[in-house]
Amino acid sequence: MYTIYHNPRCRKSREALQYLEDQSATLKIVNYLNEPLKKAELKAILNQIGLQPREIVRKNEADWKSVPNRNELTEDQILEVLVEFPKTIERPIVTSNNKGVLARPLENLISFMTEH
């Protein structure tokens, strides 16, 4: 079972979803813009993919650029921004069996599925 944290408007996210479907993967699709993640959920996902909050920030998003002192925030404060403004989360993220990957580029997902 794979869970994809998906934004249907994002080409990279659609490509990852298509790849998973082409592999006949059992899927759970979470549209995190419609179903916002709670702080604990996002923290658990970050633990699964082995990244810190600042590593999954979409730095060109207007919501991120509007955050005062954004370059001085702690990881916990960045996590709160990501929860408040889900568009700032880099996508797609795919998890399975307590492990996961930021599936951008798609090769990351291909490697992840090969290893798991």
Domains and CATH numbers, the chain: 2-115 (3.40.30.10)
Here the tokens at position 99 are 């492990």
Question: Could you give the residue numbers annotated as active site?
Answer: 10
Average pLDDT for 18-23: 97
Residue 7 CA to residue 68 CA, distance in Å, equals 26
- In terms of pTM, does the model score above 0.85? yes
Helix and strand counts by DSSP (H, E) for the chain = 5, 4
Q: Is the pLDDT of residue 97 over 90?
A: yes
116: pLDDT confidence band, cut at 50, 70 and 90?
A: confident
How far, in whole angstroms, is CA 10 from its chain's centroid? Answer: 12
